[in-house]
Chain A
Amino acid sequence: MNRSPVNPVGILGVGVAAPELRLAAAAVGAAWGAGGGKHTIALCDADEDTLTLAWSAAVGALGAAGVDGGALSGLWWGTARPPFAEGPSLAMLATALGLPASADGLLAAGSPHAGAEALVAAWDAIAAGHAGLALVVASDALVPGVGTAGEATTGAAAVALVLGPTADAANGSGPPARLAARTSRQLAVVDRYRGDAQDATADVYDGRLFREEVFLPLVTEAGRALAGTAGAIGAWSIGDGDGKLAGAAARALGGPLAGAPILAELGDTGAAAALLGAVPVLAEAGTVGVVAYGGGRATALAIEVSKPVPGAAGAVAALSRGRTVTYTEAVKARGQLVAMVDPVPMGVPPASAAFVRGALEMLALEGARCTSCGSISTPPSIHPRCAACGAPGLEVVALARRGRVETFVVNQTMPPPFQAPLPLIVLDLEDGARLMLQGAPADAERLAIGDPVELVLRRYAVERHVPVYGYKARLVASNAGDRVVAGAEGSGG
């Protein structure tokens, strides 16, 4: 048990993502006539979920590591609650990230421990020589029950790591960080729980009981065992259920808690929490102990950081960009306040032939480039001939992910499940392809012809209980502008 791995595994890049929406714990308290606290939580908008967050973090990690999705051996994804209780969660995320059809990998789920399980599995696959470059994503966007204690503490975020064998790197230019050691503990008890047919995750039965007899013993045992193997741990990042447990566990382990500001900003981010808290250490140097807890299992692992991991610097600042919403807006965004009107069904069901034919073109964002005139027709499945010149010679290509607004509207009048304002944008991508996609409601008031936009994966609908994913166009300028505000001091921006 708990042997050190034979073949060392390095971290080549990191990416993070959190939704833009923030809810103040005080607003939850006010809604239910209780105290709240000073922290906020991040929560998904209606078109976001654990998969879209995972995608955003993964795109960031791949970019930071300079790795193309097609070069990956596989995707190891941990999320307590995958978007499909049973279904193609992993294949959809892998396809949207451009992984090859032959990609390996695993979806770990069922508790917030899933993030650590995904990381450990990828680690083993590389150490055993089965995998080369591996993408690990830990994400969650759990939905707490209205009126539960978890409502003021349950957040949403994702963190992604690109892992690779350190043997590939020459001496002196080895990976910036390395997975050093790990250990696990388990106890067969019921903690946070959601059964079949339940939409929301229930609180633990007894908070004191959980803290004293389950969480602290398991986490500190695993942490102490890790410290015994890995040596000095400079800081601890510990997954947390209520915003106070992680601090208590770190104190028990005798080290500072890494990522406390992230916890205060985003709340308990479930499967993402333990790795996310370690990101500030990845931006510096030292050894961080990461302890993930969930479902009666605790895994502690040590990461040795020798120099800043690409993508880590600035990641925390990026997470602090939020937009506070009211409690009413929050429960609507979480799908817990729903108009009693029959929503309009999609014209074609998400399991039907159109989605099977279009699976790649919608998720991998493909176009058909004409071998005669070079113009790109989208999507390929409805363009057997070039839309511009009629020629039959077409090759499928991956589309660019940035472009400019050619024209747009803001739709204000739609039946449920649509919500106004809904921008609809005709945009020209950098490769010359033209698309029409939904825009972000937050951009509705500031869209203009010529504006730069980037494509982001979003949940277009939940249709017949099935999430449907596709790309939306988001103003690039608005993000850049917010970043300037976030780091305004002395930036001159």
Chain B
Amino acid sequence: MSWNKVAVVGAGLIKFGELFEQSYEQMAAGAFDAALASVDKGMDKRAIDAVIVATQRGTLWGQEGIGGNTIPTAIGIAGVACTRVENACPSGSDAFRIGAMAVASGVHDVVLVIGVEKMRDKSSAEGLLARAASGHPLYNRGETAPVLFAPFATRHMYEFGTTPEMLASVAVKNHHNGCLDPYAHFQNEVTVEQVLSSPPVCRPLRLLDCCPQTDGAAAMILTTPERAAEFSDKPVHVAGFGVATEAPYLHEKTTFLGMPATTAASKRAFAMAGVGPGDMDMAEVHDCFTITEILDIEDLGFVEKGKGGPASLEGETALDGRIPVNPSGGLLAKGHPIGATGVAQLTECYWQLREEAEGRQVAIRNGFALQHNVGGRGSGVSVVNILTRNA
């Protein structure tokens, strides 16, 4: 595959949390300012000639019909080209991929990818899938967000002997990492016992198996390798990306032991980058629930199918483990403001590859980091992006 390379020269986010005091537009401006300020040699914001906005659900702040076009004015670059991307939970990842393609195509020189999501302007009971009333009026009736993932836990436990303790170990690790990430929603440790004694939300998942509802925004600035030198001496490059879909509804699944879209997307990304899972120094993966991270690390090829539980329990995915997963705290601790999530994960990869992640910095040996989201009534679409600090 032949494509023009793309460089990342800036990335930033706002602290995630229940940001009742901030509007959608204010969050976006905060993330943009952070990304712009992060550019090593500085950047005139007028250099940006296109914006790709990721917002999954405008309805969560009461606006069904928002387009990306609110963003340029809000962040002070009115007039620039702008498009909103919606692709379920991977909206942010896909906005990044589309931004990269816009640069790779030669059409745009400097592209801002910005993910913004208001999850808490409506009560948590009215949020997203909490209403249990989306999808097919009968076949999906009663489906809240955990229902989309918990059936995989039931089956994974049945087939592979995965235990609640193994699930809990994912929450324990990611909460620990979140304590080291100043941008994380949660900054507290949890114990296996706390996870196992938290209230059942959707059996077999308990409260601490679930990510919170979080407001947030994140932004990255992409450009050509040629222009990158104007802005930074140590840009990070886009090594590859992949998107894959599968039948989204649970009754259409052919397996409850993994998400084939994740495997397919990662194979496309690895092939594009010319690397494999063993070359990754770290990964930010979609851990909306503890079981999801276990499925992800299997589907992405970091561990053998069925071994995700023991690998998590034994620390293989810890900061100092064989393959550190979700050093930022992941969705479980950092939070999951949907459109912003993927962009924030990529921001973490950017910092890790530049070795700027401070207390949660992992060892960078091969110079590659992987970012992954899966979503859409469970796992209808998966996006994988691979970044590298290698030239």
Q: Does B312 sit at the interface, judged by CB under 8 A?
A: no
Q: Does B131 sit at the interface, judged by CB under 8 A?
A: yes
Q: CA–CA, A354 to B131, complex, Å? A: 19
When the two chains form the complex, which single residue of A437, A449, A461 contacts B154, counting CB atoms closer than 8 Å? A449
Contact across chains for B139 and A415 when beta carbons are under 8 A apart: no
Q: Does A170 sit at the interface, judged by CB under 8 A?
A: no
Contact across chains for B142 and A438 when beta carbons are under 8 A apart: yes
Hey, what's the 0/1 contact readout for B234-250 against A, CB within 8 Å counting as 1? 00000000000001011
Q: Which residues of A have CB within 8 Å of B144?
A: 411, 413-414
The B-contacting residues of A in range 105-162, CB under 8 angstroms, are none
Residue from the set A377, A408, A421 with the largest chain B CB neighbour count within 10 Å: A408
Q: CA–CA, A410 to B199, complex, Å? A: 13
**Of all chain B residues, which has the CB nearest A381?**
B136
With A436-B251, A449-B158 as known contacts, state yes or no: A355 contacts B136, CB within 8 Å: no
With A449-B154, A449-B158 as known contacts, state yes or no: A414 contacts B142, CB within 8 Å: yes
The A-contacting residues of B in range 45-101, CB under 8 angstroms, are none
Hey, what's the 0/1 contact readout for A372-384 against B, CB within 8 Å counting as 1? 0000011100100
Q: CA–CA, A339 to B155, complex, Å? A: 35
Q: CA–CA, A358 to B135, complex, Å? A: 14
Q: Which residues of A have CB within 8 Å of B180?
A: none
Hey, what's the 0/1 contact readout for B252-286 against A, CB within 8 Å counting as 1? 11101000000000000000000000000000000
Q: State the interface size on chain B (CB cutoff 8 A).
A: 40
CB distance from A220 to the nearest CB of B (A): 48
Q: Which residues of B have CB within 8 Å of A346?
A: 133, 137, 141
Q: Does B187 sit at the interface, judged by CB under 8 A?
A: no
Contact across chains for B132 and A412 when beta carbons are under 8 A apart: no
Hey, what's the 0/1 contact readout for A343-360 against B, CB within 8 Å counting as 1? 011111010001100100
Q: Does A46 sit at the interface, judged by CB under 8 A?
A: no
With A418-B142, A422-B142, A426-B151 as known contacts, state yes or no: A409 contacts B256, CB within 8 Å: no
Contact across chains for B247 and A409 when beta carbons are under 8 A apart: no
Q: Does A460 sit at the interface, judged by CB under 8 A?
A: yes
Q: CA–CA, A411 to B141, complex, Å? A: 11
Contact across chains for A434 and B252 when beta carbons are under 8 A apart: yes
Hey, what's the 0/1 contact readout for A412-445 against B, CB within 8 Å counting as 1? 1111001001101010000000111110000000
Hey, what's the 0/1 contact readout for A317-344 against B, CB within 8 Å counting as 1? 0000000000000000000000000001
CB distance from B260 to the nearest CB of A (A): 13
Q: Which residues of B have CB within 8 Å of A436?
A: 139-140, 249-251
**Of all chain A residues, which has the CB nearest B257?**
A407
Contact across chains for A435 and B251 when beta carbons are under 8 A apart: yes
Contact across chains for B151 and A407 when beta carbons are under 8 A apart: yes
Q: Which residues of B have CB within 8 Å of A460?
A: 137-138, 141
CB distance from A313 to the nearest CB of B (A): 35
Contact across chains for B136 and A382 when beta carbons are under 8 A apart: yes
CB distance from A425 to the nearest CB of B (A): 9
Contact across chains for B132 and A418 when beta carbons are under 8 A apart: yes
Q: Which residues of A have CB within 8 Å of B138?
A: 362, 437, 460, 468, 470-471
Q: Which residues of B have CB within 8 Å of A437?
A: 138-139
When the two chains form the complex, which single residue of A406, A409, A461 contacts B146, counting CB atoms closer than 8 Å? A409
When the two chains form the complex, which single residue of A379, A426, A471 contacts B256, counting CB atoms closer than 8 Å? A426
Q: Which residues of A have CB within 8 Å of B256?
A: 406-407, 426
Q: CA–CA, A409 to B146, complex, Å? A: 9
Q: Does A387 sit at the interface, judged by CB under 8 A?
A: yes
Contact across chains for B155 and A407 when beta carbons are under 8 A apart: yes
CB distance from A355 to the nearest CB of B (A): 7
Q: Does B349 sit at the interface, judged by CB under 8 A?
A: no
Q: Which residues of B have CB within 8 Å of A424?
A: 142-143, 147, 151
CB distance from A456 to the nearest CB of B (A): 13
Q: Which residues of A have CB within 8 Å of B205?
A: 409
Residue from the set B130, B138, B249 with the largest chain A CB neighbour count within 10 Å: B138
Q: Which residues of A have CB within 8 Å of B376?
A: none
Q: Does B302 sit at the interface, judged by CB under 8 A?
A: no
Contact across chains for B131 and A344 when beta carbons are under 8 A apart: yes
CB distance from B140 to the nearest CB of A (A): 7
Contact across chains for B253 and A426 when beta carbons are under 8 A apart: yes
Q: CA–CA, A421 to B203, complex, Å? A: 9
CB distance from A373 to the nearest CB of B (A): 13
Q: Does B202 sit at the interface, judged by CB under 8 A?
A: yes
CB distance from A121 to the nearest CB of B (A): 32
Contact across chains for B203 and A412 when beta carbons are under 8 A apart: yes
Contact across chains for B251 and A378 when beta carbons are under 8 A apart: yes
Contact across chains for A409 and B131 when beta carbons are under 8 A apart: no
Q: Does B150 sit at the interface, judged by CB under 8 A?
A: yes
When the two chains form the complex, which single residue of B134, B135, B141, B202 contacts A412, counting CB atoms closer than 8 Å? B202
Q: CA–CA, A379 to B125, complex, Å? A: 29
**Of all chain B residues, which has the CB nearest A405?**
B154
Q: Does B310 sit at the interface, judged by CB under 8 A?
A: no
Contact across chains for B130 and A412 when beta carbons are under 8 A apart: no
Q: CA–CA, A410 to B147, complex, Å? A: 8
CB distance from B255 to the nearest CB of A (A): 10
Contact across chains for A438 and B155 when beta carbons are under 8 A apart: no
Q: Does B201 sit at the interface, judged by CB under 8 A?
A: yes
The A-contacting residues of B in range 137-167, CB under 8 angstroms, are 137-144, 146-147, 150-152, 154-155, 158
Q: CA–CA, A412 to B132, complex, Å? A: 12
Q: Which residues of B have CB within 8 Å of A358?
A: 137
Q: Does B182 sit at the interface, judged by CB under 8 A?
A: no
Contact across chains for B135 and A413 when beta carbons are under 8 A apart: no
Contact across chains for B147 and A411 when beta carbons are under 8 A apart: yes
Q: CA–CA, A347 to B132, complex, Å? A: 9
Q: Does B200 sit at the interface, judged by CB under 8 A?
A: yes
**Of all chain A residues, which has the CB nearest B199?**
A412
Contact across chains for A408 and B247 when beta carbons are under 8 A apart: no
Q: Which residues of A have CB within 8 Å of B136?
A: 379, 382
Contact across chains for B134 and A409 when beta carbons are under 8 A apart: no
Q: Which residues of B have CB within 8 Å of A378?
A: 139, 251
Q: Does B204 sit at the interface, judged by CB under 8 A?
A: yes
CB distance from A361 to the nearest CB of B (A): 10
Contact across chains for A435 and B139 when beta carbons are under 8 A apart: yes
Contact across chains for A347 and B250 when beta carbons are under 8 A apart: no
Q: CA–CA, A291 to B142, complex, Å? A: 44
When the two chains form the complex, which single residue of B133, B154, B251 contacts A347, counting CB atoms closer than 8 Å? B133
With A345-B133, A412-B200 as known contacts, state yes or no: A407 contacts B141, CB within 8 Å: no
Q: CA–CA, A346 to B249, complex, Å? A: 18
**Of all chain A residues, which has the CB nearest B145?**
A413
Q: Which residues of A have CB within 8 Å of B126?
A: 344, 415
CB distance from A407 to the nearest CB of B (A): 4
Q: CA–CA, A460 to B139, complex, Å? A: 10
CB distance from A179 to the nearest CB of B (A): 38
Contact across chains for B203 and A387 when beta carbons are under 8 A apart: no
The A-contacting residues of B in range 320-346, CB under 8 angstroms, are none
Contact across chains for A409 and B203 when beta carbons are under 8 A apart: yes
Q: CA–CA, A362 to B136, complex, Å? A: 11
| Listed A/B pairs (20) with beta-carbon separation below 8 Å | A344-B131, A344-B132, A344-B133, A350-B137, A362-B138, A377-B252, A379-B136, A387-B252, A407-B151, A407-B155, A409-B205, A411-B142, A411-B146, A415-B125, A415-B126, A421-B203, A422-B142, A436-B251, A437-B138, A449-B155
Closest 4 CB pairs of A and B: A470-B138, A409-B150, A436-B251, A410-B203
Give me 6 other A-B pairs in contact (C-beta within 8 A), A424-B142, A449-B155, A470-B141 excluded.
A347-B133, A350-B137, A408-B154, A415-B130, A424-B147, A426-B250
